[in-house]
Amino acid sequence: MTLVSIGIPTYNRASRLARAAGSVLAQTHRDLELVISDNASSDATEAVGRELGGRDPRVRYLRAPVNRGPTANFNTLYHEMRGEFAMVLSDDDWLEPDYVERCLEALHADPARSLACGRARYLVDGRTVRRGVATSLEDRDPRRRVLDYLGSVDENGLFYGLARREHLLAAAPLRNVVGNDWLLVAGLLMAGTATTLERTSINRELGGTSADFDRLTATLGLPRFQARIPHVVLATEVLAEILWRGQPFRALGGPGRTVLAVRAAATVLDWRSDAWHATAPVAAALGRRRGGAPLWRAYLRITRRLGATHDRLPGPPAD
């Protein structure tokens, strides 16, 4: 059997943690460990985690003495998981029973594959409202994989896919920056291909942590101005990750890294979107003033016509 590690970062989610953990422990692939990293929750999360650990020897419950922020919580899991294959699961999501088995089959079937995930199913009050984006990146050239990914990434379901642990550790740590989930997946794509499977699903509730840049920068403790020019910030982070920070990119050599870094940074830039983020708060404030409603409506019509409100948001790791 192949040991698979699944990590759940959590904070004050006692009401939903049991569902996420239960979906892991009910997997048809039985040789697994579940690592729960509690970011110093103040609700009943600790009691839930310890009860799960006492009931099933495959569960390890870890608790931080203080809240270190979501990024540090994810990085704890990356280094605590011991399986040959590993993945993270949000504490308010849950897996179909065959999720690990199907993803593991896909990874065993192709040694050049680094990452596999099931297609997301988004629900509201238990009712499926839409399916997630199916992303497959099978090009054998890692540079093209990275560029294709950064040019098309949307909800980033690959971030919650099953990966070869050695590749995950090489792509880590998760950076405490805007778009950190994009950077991690880009690093994984340097190691191998990725696929989305139609035959199994990860279930995700809409209305959870928002991919709103104001909330994202506040959650990560980043300067507030970054929420006004998020794609410029993201392009800068992509440039830095490929040029000198990211271990997976070192195999390209200096010239190769430089070319890929410049092209990748240009790929994620979105001037129309950043124009929207920079001007929308001011326009909204004016619209709330007496007699300002027509101005706000006109602003929305113009920006929608220009396509400036369409956005590809990095999805913030939440716990």
- Residues 101 and 27 sit within 8 Å (Cβ to Cβ): yes
98 in a structural domain:
no
Q: Which domain holds residue 36?
A: 1-91
- Residues 309 and 303 sit within 8 Å (Cβ to Cβ): yes
187 in a structural domain:
no
182-208 per-position pLDDT tens digit: 999 999 999 999 999 999 999 998 765
**With a threshold of 0.85, does the pTM exceed it?**
yes
217-248 per-position pLDDT tens digit: 888 999 999 989 999 999 999 999 999 999 99
Report d(CA 116, CA 139) in Å as an integer: 15
Give the 3-state secondary structure of 244-258: HHCHHHHHHHHHHHH
Reported as a pLDDT band with limits 50, 70 and 90, residue 298 is confident
pLDDT over threshold 50, residue 210: no
Closest among 139, 226, 239, 112 to 183, alpha carbons compared:
239
At 253 the pLDDT is 95
User: 11 or 297, which is more confident?
Assistant: 11
CATH code of the domain covering residue 34? 3.90.550.10
Closest among 1, 18, 27 to 87, alpha carbons compared:
27
33 in a structural domain:
yes
At 319 the pLDDT is 66
100-121 per-position pLDDT tens digit: 999 999 999 999 999 999 999 9
Report d(CA 39, CA 16) in Å as an integer: 15
41-74 per-position pLDDT tens digit: 999 999 999 999 999 999 999 999 999 999 999 9
Q: How many domains does the chain have?
A: 1
Name the percent of the chain in helix, strand, coil, to the closest 5. Answer: 50, 20, 30
Report d(CA 94, CA 204) in Å as an integer: 7
CB crowding 68-96: b at 16 or more within 10 Å, else e: ebbbbbbbbbbebbebebbbbbbbbbbbb
- Torsion angle of the four alpha carbons 97, 99, 102, 106, in this order, in degrees rounded to the nearest 10: -170
Within 8 A by CB and 6+ apart from 260, the residues are 143, 146, 147, 242, 249, 252
15 in a structural domain:
yes
Closest among 174, 156, 221 to 79, alpha carbons compared:
174
269 in a structural domain:
no
35 in a structural domain:
yes
76 in a structural domain:
yes
264 in a structural domain:
no
Mean pLDDT on 299-316: 67
At 230 the pLDDT is 92
